[in-house]
């Protein structure tokens, strides 16, 4: 048994007094009808957050999220119930409610061969304890001071620091028990700057599945402070963004939110099983320019979107979604993989025990190409260079997606010129991906800030890409 | 457990919490506890797809040691978890800074009596009955047109909740609520093109939910109307935000007058109280005491008594949305806005939707907005959109993959009319908004 699974067993079974015999009893109850597959998911979650504002430590909060979710699957039907108590009687009640989805009769549960627990991609630590309170608050105060000394126009600084400790244990209907211990830390610096009667904001941060001293390494925290100020000052000088179809060059790293929206969601297995995605039934077809190879990789050590195992116990993978423009595969959880006759890909994720798992992204990025970033910018006569984004959104059925630039520049005659105000970019996923005409050699991943929402469930994700050029994309500025 | 028993159990939890906080040395404390159970059933392509039994508990506590504050919350209400939470909140308060604005809301502002707003109307239905209603809804959607080729299903959700809030002023109050909703999303196909849209209704009372078939048909009609959309050329023109997307404009206003945004100076409506921010016919109000209202509450999240108020009258901003903290930071009084605005609405200028189309003559009707593209500090607004192109006062064809952009300050001042077509579900009451001029980005 791995150290990780041992910790998970101790926390979620031994402490509440549950034995394997108890679990078998609950599983038997879940399987006592015509159920194809079932699982029991236990979660122990602790989260601590701190906020600095007005130069003082204004708020701190501690959260407990704990319980078990029980699921029974029969064909395309799912029954689900959960409880915040780990007492046997409550688990049995929940099992009785969840199995009601299936017809009475003998169960035909699939025995799925155990995949074994892979080596952990992050240390099984509790990040809440990884720095003392004094050290945490000192780090935040230093980030505040760094932002205020960076420029006299800085009026307000808000620093937040969050540490989360999640321990999960999942038992499938074959009796296999897998556990994971998932640390997650996040720091953010937001500033308001003022010049005359103009005000602007800037924000920067990062995170990882690591201890809090991640922010002390490589000058990261101070870097977030300086970066937030730089962004806000750039935006003070921004002029109206253009409106209409233009060539768009996207910078490396976080602008990879393009891939998350334009192709990522559309390649999730549930939408494709149901035939509701613009990418449904298109495996083997050209869905992007031949310069594009896109992967979803949950195996990067310590990254925010990484998982040693997903929330169904499947080891995460490095899955090629698009190779040289050709659609290779979808992201799957167990249920959708089974119904589509393919293997699970380690993308079965859930926000918590109180939510059903579904196919979700991990770290989604495009592999590097051959061009120097300067060559890409120099190739544009009149267009936009966008280096920072807020969120995005996609309609997976029509393929329409948006993402909102919050730091962008005009490109004039092959040179980066004025900063322009934030603007939404809109396109159609497959069309936009086919219009990618240059891909840089500067692949970068984001700093660990992404959160993805789907059907009301939030999970941490990563994105990344090299500098790339889309020949035409609609830019939503005000300068018509 | 009966609802009355549950309420008294939660009251006991809150009182125990406040007692435990005092025992651990806190000068003041406040706590909220909630318990919710529900049933969600989805039917897709005529078959039951998921049955979810929801059961969520939550507890939050904030302690004050003089003006230092610590908070904790938990989904686990057993005594161990409660003790751990109170101890964590007290430990945190030893490390936060002295903040003169931190503390409970003022004692004299606590709600004295808690009116019954008629928010509790449970729906006793089992999973089969719920599936039957969802099936009727989806069947009606699929029967509208052969181009309705696929479905994401119809979902019936019913929940009942109880919650109690109390603080060390001696205030303890709470009540049960119910919420029921029915939604449907379908897909239309025509050639290679696929479009999806949805419709829903929600209510405190089962009997007030729209007919399942009516919800299904409206979902199908909205989806079919999107087929054959095209891009528009980039231009400046009038924009009509249809009633179902107009609430997002009001939410942008509420975000900008939130006390926390104001004291941080992170709003485009800084120092605008008493100023004309809309044309003089505009009135925007909130009515937290509306019987059976979807956002009704007799007291806010700090126990402060709520009541009707105008946020904008004669186009002039009347005040901010203040909780006790932001009020103290600004030297003002709480407006019972902890937890947000409740049952907000904008008065119509009287025109029907068709009259608004004629009034605008030409321009874009926006029926979908995508992305978050608003800058709360500057008011700069740029969002993805889909809808219809209007010429000679009539809708001509659907448009999609466009952007609409402007600045919220200008958009508010250029509001020409608000329709009487306020037939949308949800807690915000508004008709369609006609805005004089925005930039539309297209091909």
How many C-beta atoms surround the C-beta of residue B339 within 10 A? 18
A199–B378 CB contact, under 8 Å: yes
* Chain B positions in Cβ-Cβ contact with residue A393 (cut-off 8 Å): 370-372, 384
Q: How far is A327 from chain B (nearest CA, A)?
A: 18
A82–B54 CB contact, under 8 Å: yes
Query: CA-to-CA distance for A186 and A190, rounded, in angstroms?
Result: 13
- pLDDT tens-place string over residues B147-163: 999 999 999 999 999 99
Strands (E), A236-289: 243-250
Q: Are B34 and B11 in contact (CB under 8 A)?
A: no
pLDDT of residue B310: 98
By C-alpha distance, which of B255, B271, B260, B266 is closest to A201?
B266
- pLDDT tens-place string over residues A319-329: 999 999 999 99
Q: How far is A118 from chain B (nearest CA, A)?
A: 31
Q: Output the six-digit token pair for B396.
A: 């001509």
- pLDDT tens-place string over residues A240-298: 999 999 999 999 999 999 999 999 999 999 999 999 999 999 999 999 999 999 999 99
Q: Which residue of B has its CA nearest to A405?
A: B373
pLDDT of residue B67: 93
**First CA to last CA across chain A, in angstroms?**
63
Q: Binning pLDDT at 50, 70 and 90, where does residue A146 land?
A: very high
* Chain A positions in Cβ-Cβ contact with residue B69 (cut-off 8 Å): 58-60
pLDDT of residue B358: 98
* Chain B positions in Cβ-Cβ contact with residue A94 (cut-off 8 Å): 53
Residue of A355, A402, A419, A453 to mutate, interface with B, max B Cβ within 10 Å: A402
Considering only the beta carbons, identify the residue of B93, B150, B372 that sits closest to A404.
B372
pLDDT of residue A112: 55
* Chain A positions in Cβ-Cβ contact with residue B47 (cut-off 8 Å): 76-77
Q: Is B100 on the interface with A (CB under 8 A)?
A: no
Query: CA-to-CA distance for B214 and A11, rounded, in angstroms?
Result: 50
Q: Residue A466: helix, strand or coil by DSSP?
A: coil
How many C-beta atoms surround the C-beta of residue B16 within 10 A? 15
A424–B383 CB contact, under 8 Å: yes
- pLDDT tens-place string over residues B312-349: 999 999 999 999 999 999 999 999 999 999 999 999 99
Q: Output the six-digit token pair for B207.
A: 């009997």
- pLDDT tens-place string over residues A211-245: 999 999 999 999 999 999 999 999 999 999 999 99
A397–B194 CB contact, under 8 Å: yes
* Strand bridging mode B363-370 / B235-241: parallel
Q: How far is A391 from chain B (nearest CA, A)?
A: 7
Torsion region of B340: left, alpha or beta (phi above 0 gives left; psi -120 to 50 gives alpha)? left
B403–A406 CB contact, under 8 Å: no
pLDDT of residue A106: 65
Q: Is B35 on the interface with A (CB under 8 A)?
A: no
pLDDT of residue A38: 95
pLDDT of residue A110: 62
B441–A200 CB contact, under 8 Å: no
Q: Which residue of A has its CA nearest to B407?
A: A478
A200–B405 CB contact, under 8 Å: no
Q: How far is B163 from chain A (nearest CA, A)?
A: 17
Considering only the beta carbons, identify the residue of B70, B97, B377 that sits closest to A56.
B97
Q: How far is B402 from chain A (nearest CA, A)?
A: 7
pLDDT of residue B98: 96
* Chain B positions in Cβ-Cβ contact with residue A195 (cut-off 8 Å): none
Q: Is B401 on the interface with A (CB under 8 A)?
A: yes
Tell me the residue length of chain B. Answer: 443
- pLDDT tens-place string over residues A84-124: 989 999 999 999 999 988 877 766 666 555 556 789 999 99
Residue of B38, B65, B373, B374 to mutate, interface with A, max A Cβ within 10 Å: B373
Q: What's the mean pLDDT when you consider all of chain A?
A: 95
pLDDT of residue A109: 65
B74–A63 CB contact, under 8 Å: yes
CB burial string B70-107: b at 16+ within 10 A, e below: bbbbbbbbeeebbebbbbbbbbbbebbbebebbbbbee
Does the pLDDT at position A395 exceed 90? yes
Q: Which residue of A has its CA nearest to B375?
A: A422
Q: Is B230 on the interface with A (CB under 8 A)?
A: no
Residues 341-380 of chain B whose Cβ lies under 8 A from any Cβ of chain A: 370-373, 375-378, 380
Does the pLDDT at position A54 exceed 80? yes
* Chain B positions in Cβ-Cβ contact with residue A243 (cut-off 8 Å): 234, 403, 405, 439-441
pLDDT of residue B410: 98
Does the pLDDT at position B2 exceed 90? no
pLDDT of residue B3: 82
Residue of A398, A406, A421 to mutate, interface with B, max B Cβ within 10 Å: A398
A391–B372 CB contact, under 8 Å: yes
A200–B377 CB contact, under 8 Å: yes
Q: How many CB pairs under 8 A join A and B?
A: 254
- pLDDT tens-place string over residues A182-194: 999 999 999 999 9
Mean pLDDT of the region B420-440? 96
Q: Which residue of B has its CA nearest to A279?
A: B194
Phi, psi for B84 (deg, rounded to 5):
-60, -40
* Chain B positions in Cβ-Cβ contact with residue A85 (cut-off 8 Å): 76, 78
* Chain A positions in Cβ-Cβ contact with residue B189 (cut-off 8 Å): none
B96–A391 CB contact, under 8 Å: no
A400–B370 CB contact, under 8 Å: yes
Q: Residue A339: helix, strand or coil by DSSP?
A: helix
pLDDT of residue A292: 98
B75–A64 CB contact, under 8 Å: yes
- pLDDT tens-place string over residues A18-42: 999 999 999 999 998 889 999 999 9
Query: CA-to-CA distance for A355 and A454, rounded, in angstroms?
Result: 11
Q: Residue A161: helix, strand or coil by DSSP?
A: strand
Q: Binning pLDDT at 50, 70 and 90, where does residue A150 land?
A: very high
* DSSP collapsed to 3 states, chain B: CCHHHHHHHHHHHHHHHHHHHHHCCCCEEEEEEEEEEEEEEEEECCEEEEEEEEEEEEEEEEEEECCEEEEEEECCCCHHHHHHHHHHHHHHHCCCCCCCCCCCCCHHHECCCCCCCCCCCCCCCCHHHHHHHHHHHHHHHHCCCCCEEEEEEEEEEEEEEEEEEEECCCCEEEEEEEEEEEEEEEEEEECCEEEEEEEEEEECCHHHCCCHHHHHHHHHHHHHHCCCCECCCCEEEEEEECCCCCHHHHHHHHHHCEHHHHHCCCCCCCCCCCCECCCCCCCEEECCCCCCCCCCCCECCCCEECCCEEEEECCEECCCECCHHHHHHHCCCCCCCCCCCCCEEECCCCCCHHHHHHHHCCEEEEEEEECCCECCCCCEEEEEEEEEEEECCEEEEEEEEEEEEEEHHHHHHCEEEECCCCCCCCCCECCCEEEEEEEEECC
Q: Which residue of B has its CA nearest to A83?
A: B55
Task: Find the helix packing angle between A133-150 and A220-236, rounded to 10°.
Answer: 30
B375–A245 CB contact, under 8 Å: no
- pLDDT tens-place string over residues A157-183: 999 999 999 999 999 999 999 999 999
Considering only the beta carbons, identify the residue of B92, B93, B196 that sits closest to A276.
B196
* Chain B positions in Cβ-Cβ contact with residue A81 (cut-off 8 Å): 52-53, 55
Q: Could you give the percent of chain B with pLDDT greater than 70?
A: 100
Does the pLDDT at position B222 exceed 80? yes
Torsion region of B87: left, alpha or beta (phi above 0 gives left; psi -120 to 50 gives alpha)? alpha
Q: Could you give the percent of chain B with pLDDT greater than 90?
A: 95
B76–A66 CB contact, under 8 Å: yes
Query: CA-to-CA distance for A94 and A88, rounded, in angstroms?
Result: 10
Query: CA-to-CA distance for B378 and A190, rounded, in angstroms?
Result: 15
Query: CA-to-CA distance for B433 and B365, rounded, in angstroms?
Result: 10
Between the alpha carbon of residue A260 and those of residues A281, A394, A396, A447, the distances in Å are: 20, 9, 11, 15
Q: Are A476 and A469 in contact (CB under 8 A)?
A: no
- The H or E element spanning position A7 is helix A3-9
By C-alpha distance, which of A168, A131, A165 is closest to A47?
A165
A423–B196 CB contact, under 8 Å: no
* Strand bridging mode A363-366 / A294-297: antiparallel
Angle at A459 between CA A456 and CA A464, to 5 degrees: 125
A424–B443 CB contact, under 8 Å: no
Does the pLDDT at position A410 exceed 60? yes
Q: How far is A449 from chain B (nearest CA, A)?
A: 17
The set of residues, in sequence order, having a beta carbon less than 8 Å from that of A256 and lying 6+ positions away, is A364, A365, A366, A445, A446, A463, A464, A465
Given the structure tokens 């607004």, which residue do they identify? B381
pLDDT of residue A249: 98
């Amino acid at each position: 048994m791995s150290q990780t699974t041992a910790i998970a067993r101790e926390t979620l079974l031994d402490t509440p007094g549950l034995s394997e015999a108890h679990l078998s009893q609950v599983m038997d109850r879940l399987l006592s009808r015509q159920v194809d597959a079932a699982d029991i998911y236990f979660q122990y979650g602790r989260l601590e957050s701190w906020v600095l504002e007005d130069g003082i430590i204004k708020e701190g909060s501690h959260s407990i999220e704990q319980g078990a979710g029980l699921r029974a699957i029969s064909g395309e039907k799912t029954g689900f119930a959960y409880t915040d108590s780990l007492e046997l009687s409550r688990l049995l009640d929940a099992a009785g409610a969840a199995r009601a989805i299936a017809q009475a009769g003998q169960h035909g549960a699939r025995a799925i061969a155990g995949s074994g627990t892979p080596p952990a991609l992050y240390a099984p630590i509790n990040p809440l304890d990884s720095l003392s309170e004094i050290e945490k608050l000192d780090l935040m105060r230093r980030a505040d001071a760094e932002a205020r000394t960076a420029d006299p126009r800085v009026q307000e600084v808000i620093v937040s620091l969050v540490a989360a400790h999640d321990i999960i244990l999942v038992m499938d209907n074959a009796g296999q028990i897998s556990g994971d211990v998932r640390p997650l830390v996040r720091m953010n610096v937001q500033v308001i700057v003022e010049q005359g009667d103009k005000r602007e904001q800037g924000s920067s941060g990062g995170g990882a599945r690591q201890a809090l001293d991640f922010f002390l390494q490589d000058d990261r925290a101070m870097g977030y402070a300086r970066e937030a100020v730089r962004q806000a000052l750039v935006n003070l000088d921004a002029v109206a963004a253009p409106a209409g179809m233009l060539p768009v060059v996207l910078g490396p790293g976080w602008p990879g939110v393009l891939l998350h929206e334009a192709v990522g969601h559309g390649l999730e297995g549930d939408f494709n099983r149901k035939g509701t995605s613009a990418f449904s039934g298109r495996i083997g077809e050209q869905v992007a320019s031949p310069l594009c190879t896109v992967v979803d990789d949950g195996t990067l050590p310590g990254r925010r979107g990484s998982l040693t195992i997903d929330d169904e116990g499947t080891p995460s993978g490095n899955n090629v979604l698009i190779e040289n423009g050709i659609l290779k595969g979808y992201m799957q959880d167990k249920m959708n993989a089974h119904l589509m006759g393919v293997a699970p890909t380690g993308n079965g994720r859930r926000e918590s025990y109180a939510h059903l798992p579904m196919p979700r992204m991990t770290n989604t990025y495009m592999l590097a190409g051959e061009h120097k970033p300067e060559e890409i910018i120099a190739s544009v006569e009149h267009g936009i260079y966008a280096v920072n984004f807020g969120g995005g959104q996609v309609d997976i059925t029509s393929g329409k997606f948006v993402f909102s630039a919050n730091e962008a520049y005009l490109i004039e005659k092959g040179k980066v010129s004025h900063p322009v105000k934030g603007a939404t970019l809109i396109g159609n996923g497959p069309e936009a991906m086919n219009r990618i005409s240059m891909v840089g050699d500067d692949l970068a991943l984001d700093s660990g800030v992404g959160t993805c929402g789907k059907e009301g469930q939030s999970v941490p994700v990563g994105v990344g890409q090299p500098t790339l050029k889309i020949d035409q994309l609609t830019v939503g500025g005000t300068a018509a | 457990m009966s609802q009355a028993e549950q309420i008294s159990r939660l009251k006991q939890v809150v009182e125990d919490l406040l007692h435990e906080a005092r025992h651990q040395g806190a000068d003041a404390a406040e706590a909220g506890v909630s318990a919710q159970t529900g049933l969600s059933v989805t039917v897709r392509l005529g078959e039951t797809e998921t049955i979810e039994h929801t059961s969520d508990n939550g507890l939050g506590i904030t302690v004050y040691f003089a003006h230092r504050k610590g908070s904790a919350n938990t989904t686990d209400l057993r005594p161990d978890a409660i003790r751990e939470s109170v101890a964590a909140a007290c430990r945190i308060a030893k490390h936060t800074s002295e903040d003169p604005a931190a503390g409970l809301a003022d004692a004299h502002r606590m709600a004295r009596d808690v009116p019954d707003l008629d928010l509790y109307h449970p729906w006793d239905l089992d999973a089969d009955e719920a599936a039957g209603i969802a099936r009727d809804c989806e069947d009606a959607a699929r029967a509208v047109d052969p181009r309705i080729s696929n479905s994401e299903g119809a979902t019936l959700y019913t929940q009942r909740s109880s919650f109690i809030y109390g603080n060390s002023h001696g205030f303890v109050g709470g009540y049960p609520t119910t919420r029921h909703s029915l939604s449907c999303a379908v897909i239309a196909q025509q050639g290679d093109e696929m479009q999806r849209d949805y419709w829903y209704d929600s209510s405190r009372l089962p009997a007030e939910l729209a007919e399942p078939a009516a919800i299904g048909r409206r979902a199908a009609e909205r989806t079919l109307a999107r087929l054959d959309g095209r891009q528009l050329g980039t231009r400046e023109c009038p924009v009509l935000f249809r009633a179902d997307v107009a609430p997002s404009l009001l939410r942008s206003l509420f975000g900008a007058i939130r006390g926390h945004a104001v004291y941080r100076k992170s709003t485009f409506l800084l120092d605008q109280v008493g100023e004309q921010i809309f044309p003089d016919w505009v009135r925007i109000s909130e009515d937290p005491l509306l019987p059976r209202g979807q956002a009704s509450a007799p007291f806010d999240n700090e126990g402060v008594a709520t009541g009707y108020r105008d946020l904008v009258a004669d186009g002039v901003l009347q005040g901010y949305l203040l909780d006790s903290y932001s009020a103290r930071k600004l030297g003002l009084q709480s407006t019972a806005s902890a937890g947000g605005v409740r049952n907000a609405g904008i008065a119509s200028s009287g025109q029907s939707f068709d009259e608004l189309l004629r009034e605008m003559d030409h321009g874009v009707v926006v029926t979908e907005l995508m992305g978050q593209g608003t800058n709360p500090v500057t008011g700069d607004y740029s969002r993805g959109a889909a809808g219809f192109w209007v010429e000679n006062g009539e809708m001509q064809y659907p448009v999609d993959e466009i952007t609409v952009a402007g600045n919220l300050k200008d958009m508010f001042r250029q509001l020409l009319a608000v329709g009487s077509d306020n037939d949308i579900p949800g807690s915000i009451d508004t008709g369609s908004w006609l805005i004089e001029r925005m930039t539309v980005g297209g091909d």
